[in-house]
Chains A and B, each alone.
Chain A
Amino acid sequence: MAAFKRKRGSGSGAGKQAKKVKFAENATGKQTAKPGQESEKEHNIPAPVSKGKWKNKERVLVFSSRGINFRTRHLMQDLRTMMPHTKADTKMDRKDKLFVVNEVCEIKNCNKCIFFEAKKKQDLYMWISNVPHGPSAKFLVQNVHTLAELKMTGNCLKGSRPLLSFDPTFEKEPHYALLKELFIQTFSTPQYHPKSQPFVDHILTFTIADNRIWFRNYQIIEEDGSLVEIGPRFVLNLIKIFQGSFGGATLYENPRYQSPNMHRRMIRLATAARLKEKQQVKELQKMKKSEPKVKEKEDPTQDVFVTPAEEKPSDIQLVAPEPKPIKKKKNKEFKRQRKLKQKRF
């Protein structure tokens, strides 16, 4: 549903968009509140966004290459929902080189870009870049969960400004510091952006664990800090940081990064090695068996310490042993007949 256009300079009372409702209970507007209470509420409602001047002109272009799957597509849509300062573009052909992206961004008048690239329909790479000259970074995206997942029950206003929370580790390393600046400029919604909402009701967290960057999105329910996850969520594995946009000198390369191809190859090699080892063991055993057995020399001193065994007392039975209990002979005919009968059925 498209939002109504807000009138510029209208008062706070009229500046609300009557659109989709968060809870069914709030469907009926509480206009019948006492005048005293109403005035209190009016104080709490911030002025509409159009009253402020939008200075921080950040525009992010979010698009992808061909060959993405549904999850990536939904992730892109979710990012565009979360960030009102984004623009979309059609899929880029893989034949074009990467620096074409810069031109696309220029046409759309965007100064940041998030570009998703899918390879082999399995691996998803994400480029975040400051378009004209600035740095860019390439990540491998893993563990993508979108907004549509039912386990994540939080909700937020569409286009509300987020808080960004970073790990202290981001300040320890220079490459992380650069990434932090890049994330701040890309993900934070500019104040007084025409499509933004004046509330701050969700928080994006970036944490570093296991040499990867984990992204989460939480809704702020109460002022005391209770949170519910909204989504989407993903994990970024840094590959390289470039000095230019989608190219240029490599400023940083992640030493612990292993490309997904290599990862799969290692797994395959490990299983192959295990199998080979088993085969070799078998072969060796065969060889050992088939070898002519070496006959040892006779040792004359072998019989020196031989002692004959003690003689057992011979027990002559005088009394006949008890007769064994006679087992009744089973009439096998019956069994045979029974089996035949069974066969007939």
Chain B
Amino acid sequence: MEDFEEESVSGSESEGNDSVMSDGELQEAFAKGLLKPGLNIPLEARKKAVNNVEGLKQCLADFKKDLAWVERLDLTSRPLPDIVAKADGKLTTLDSGEIQAEDDFQREMYFYRQAQAAVLEALPRLKKFNISTKRPEDYFAEMAKTDHHMQKARGITKLMAKQASMEKSEKAKQLRELRKYGKKVQTDVLQKRQKDKKAMMTAVKKYQKGMTDKLDFMDGDQEKGKKGASGAAGPNAAKKKRGPNAKRQYKDQRFGFGGKKRGSKWNTKESHDDMSGFRSKAAHGKSGKNFGKGGKQGASKRPGKNARKKMKNRS
């Protein structure tokens, strides 16, 4: 392996780089462990960095402004001791030069503690000058970050946005429901109108054909409303009882449900016991065309001869 490493090193040099050391010296250096394996890139000698200490001090002296502390508000402070780390027993005190810049958390905590130490030192001094760090609650002034930004940082706007969207969806739902209901009502109204129209037309036709001589349908809805309100129960109940027409009933009886069975018994026990065709008033002879005092007919009855004579003489 040693041979191989040297070959690679010498190979790079033979490519044209001017090496400071000869091969033999390189071998010795490698044997001692000064050279690392692999390609070694020659580093250029660094220029000496300028550090004009005297100049710096002079400049500082010229440039320094002697201001009261109140104007500058500057502090030099070492960070407060880290309580957490002490509790863990990890470290005692760190100088700033020993902060590991790579360890983010440790670094940020170091800055934080430095700031804390500075604040604790500065507060009593500020009190002497009557400068407060606490802002009274009713002191309103422009802030570096807007309210909207602060709310975003705290996630309040997200919550509010969520609430708003929920409300919107609720409203949309309600609107849809309302529209459905409205549509339903509309269709009902239209149907009713069509029904009424049809009824009207049939009534008119009936009158035209002479089936009815009453002009009830011309009165319109007013009378119907009144009548309907008062006598709704009676006629309704009667109508329900009537059911299909008499003609219809007769036809059903004869031909409905497979028709009348020929040769079926007709003076059976059931037919004998059936009292549906019995009308007591008719049976006892208490109804008829001219039964009773002959009320209306009496009014249109022609008076007798003597009565007529009397009437004639009177008039």
Interface: A67 (CB within 8 A): no
Neighbouring B residues of A177 by C-beta, 8 Å: 56, 60
Checking B63, B78, B132 against A168 with a beta-carbon cut-off of 8 angstroms, the contacting residue is: B78
Total contacting residues, chain A, CB less than 8 A: 95
> Chain A residue with minimal CB distance to B60?
A178
Which of B140-148, B199-207, B286-294 binds A? Answer: B140-148
Question: Is B20 located at the chain interface by the 8 A CB criterion?
Answer: no
**CB proximity of A163 to chain B, nearest CB, Å:** 5
Q: Does A155 contact B (CB under 8 A)?
A: yes
Residue numbers in A under 8 Å from B62 (CB-CB): 134
Contact between chains at A20 and B75 (CB < 8 Å): no
Chain B 114-138 interface mask (CB, 8 Å, partner A; 1/0): 1111111011001000111111111
Q: Are B76 and A20 in contact (CB under 8 A)?
A: no
For A68, the chain B residues whose CB sits under 8 A away are none
Question: What CA separation (Å) do A56 and B59 show in the bound complex?
Answer: 21
A17 to B165, CA, bound (A): 36
Cβ-defined partner of A41 (8 Å) among B8, B136, B143, B150: B136
Tell me what chain A mostly uses at the interface: helix, strand, loop, or mixed.
mixed
The answer to whether the Cβ of A181 comes within 8 Å of any Cβ in the partner chain is: yes
Whether, in the assembled complex, A199 has its beta carbon less than 8 Å from a beta carbon of chain B, the answer is yes
Interfacial chain A residues near B112, Cβ < 8 Å? 218, 227
Most B CB atoms within 10 A — which of A45, A190, A205? A205
Task: State the interface size on chain B (CB cutoff 8 A).
Answer: 74
**How far is B135's CA from A184's CA once the two chains are assembled, in angstroms?**
24
Q: Is B67 an interface residue (CB 8 A)?
A: yes
Q: Of A17, A46, A280, which contacts B141 at CB under 8 A?
A: A17
Within 8 A of A (CB), among B125-180: 126, 130-147, 149-150, 152-154
Bound complex: CA A166 to CA B114 (Å) = 8
A1 contacts partner chain B, Cβ-Cβ < 8 Å: yes
A163-B118 contact, Cβ under 8 Å, with A158-B141, A169-B97, A170-B76: yes
User: Is A325 interfacial (CB-CB < 8 Å)?
Assistant: no
* Cβ-defined contact, A164 with B74, below 8 A: yes
Please choose the segment from B38-46, B81-89, B228-236 that sits at the chain A interface, where 4 or more of its residues have CB less than 8 A away: B38-46
- For A81, the chain B residues whose CB sits under 8 A away are 144
| Residues from 167 to 208 in A contacting B, C-beta threshold 8 Å | 167-171, 174-175, 177-178, 180-182, 184-185, 188, 190-191, 197-201, 203, 205, 207-208
User: CB-CB < 8 A to B7: which residues of A?
Assistant: 284
Nearest Cβ in chain A — how far from B37, in angstroms?
9
Tell me if B73 counts as interface (CB < 8 A to partner A).
Answer: yes
A330 to B204, CA, bound (A): 93
27 chain-A/chain-B pairs, Cβ below 8 angstroms: A16-B141, A20-B147, A22-B140, A26-B140, A41-B138, A135-B63, A147-B144, A152-B153, A155-B144, A163-B118, A169-B96, A174-B57, A178-B56, A178-B59, A181-B60, A188-B74, A191-B70, A198-B132, A200-B126, A205-B111, A208-B97, A209-B101, A225-B120, A251-B59, A252-B49, A252-B52, A273-B38
Additional pairs, 11, CB under 8 Å, beyond known A201-B133, A209-B97, A243-B59: A20-B147, A148-B149, A159-B142, A169-B96, A178-B56, A200-B122, A208-B97, A212-B101, A218-B112, A230-B144, A252-B50
Across chains A and B, which 4 residue pairs bring their CB atoms closest together, nearest first?
A210-B101, A165-B118, A255-B49, A174-B56
What is B's interface to A at a CB cutoff of 8 Å?
A: 4, 7-8, 11, 38-39, 41, 46, 49-53, 55-57, 59-60, 62-65, 67, 70-78, 95-97, 99, 101, 107, 110-112, 114-120, 122-123, 126, 130-147, 149-150, 152-154
